[in-house]
Amino acid sequence: MKESIINQLFTPKLENPILMEGLPGFGNVGRLAATQIIKYTEAKLFAEYYSPLFPDYVSVNKDGVCSPPRYRFYAPPSGEKLNLIILTGHSQPSPENIVAHYEICEEVLEFAEKLGCRFLVTVGGVPVSTEKKDVYVAATSGKLAAGVMEKGAIIYGKGRIMGATGLLLGMAKQRGLDGICLLGATSGIQPDKSAGSAVFQLILRLFGSQSKLGM
C-alpha cells in the first residue's frame, strides 16, 4: 500500500451530520464512548480508512482472523437519536511519527466534509488523581465551551490534548469548522468504562434532542 484509501460501502442518508471521533487513548475513554454510541444508535459500518502510516501489525479477533490497522466510520440508519457519524478504530499512528498524525487527520476531515459534516466532537481521556468522573471540555470558541459547561462539563484550560483527539479539533478550526473536545476524567491505568459512560451521557444531553449548542 503506497497511499491511504477509503473503502466506502454506502453513503449514509444524514443531513448535516456531526463527526464524532472516539479512538484509543488515555483510559481508552474515546473508543469506549464511541462503542456505546454505536450500540445506542444501532449505527452501521459504512466506510473503512486504511493507511501505510498506521503501525506495522495486524489485529487478530477471537476467531483467529487478522486485519490491518484501520479507522472505521459508522452511521445510524436515521438521525432520530443522534445525528452522528462515528469514527473509531483500534490504533493511532506512533506518537513519534508526527507527520503521520497530521496527514491522517487531514484526510479524515476531508472525508467528513464530503459527507456534509461542519461540526465535530472529539473524545478522549484526561489523567486525574480522584475517582470523580468529571467531563472536561475544550472547543473552537468560548461560546461553544460555555454551552457545554451549562450541560455539566468543566473547562479544560492550560493543557495539551494529544493525538487525533486534539489535532482533529485544531485542524478543523483552521478549515472553518466548529467543534468541541470532551475529556473523561480517568486514572488511565485500565480501560475506564465509567469514564466512557460519563462522556456518552453528556453527548446524549448535548445532542440527543438535536440541540446544536448555538450553531
Q: Which of 165-169, 186-190, 210-214 has the lowest mean pLDDT?
A: 210-214
pLDDT band at residue 213 using 50, 70 and 90 as cut-offs: low
CA distance 6 to 99: 19
**Which pLDDT belongs to residue 56?**
85
The C-alpha cell of 136 is what? 472536561
**Which pLDDT belongs to residue 215?**
47
- Judged against a pLDDT cut of 90, whether residue 1 lies above it is answered with no
- Judged against a pLDDT cut of 80, whether residue 76 lies above it is answered with yes
CA distance 68 to 70: 6
157 vs 131, higher pLDDT? 157
Please state the domain extents for the chain.
5-207
- Judged against a pLDDT cut of 60, whether residue 63 lies above it is answered with yes
What DSSP element (H or E) covers 99? helix 98-114
pLDDT band at residue 107 using 50, 70 and 90 as cut-offs: very high
DSSP letter at 53 equals T
Bridge partners (DSSP) of residue 185 are 126
Q: Please give the angle made by the CA atoms of 190, 127 and 147, to the nearest 5 degrees.
A: 115
1 three-state secondary structure: coil
- Judged against a pLDDT cut of 50, whether residue 114 lies above it is answered with yes
133 touches 74 (CB < 8 A): no
Q: Quick one: what percent of the chain has pLDDT higher than 90?
A: 78
Q: CATH number of the domain at 5-207, please?
A: 3.40.50.10900
pTM for the full model? 0.93
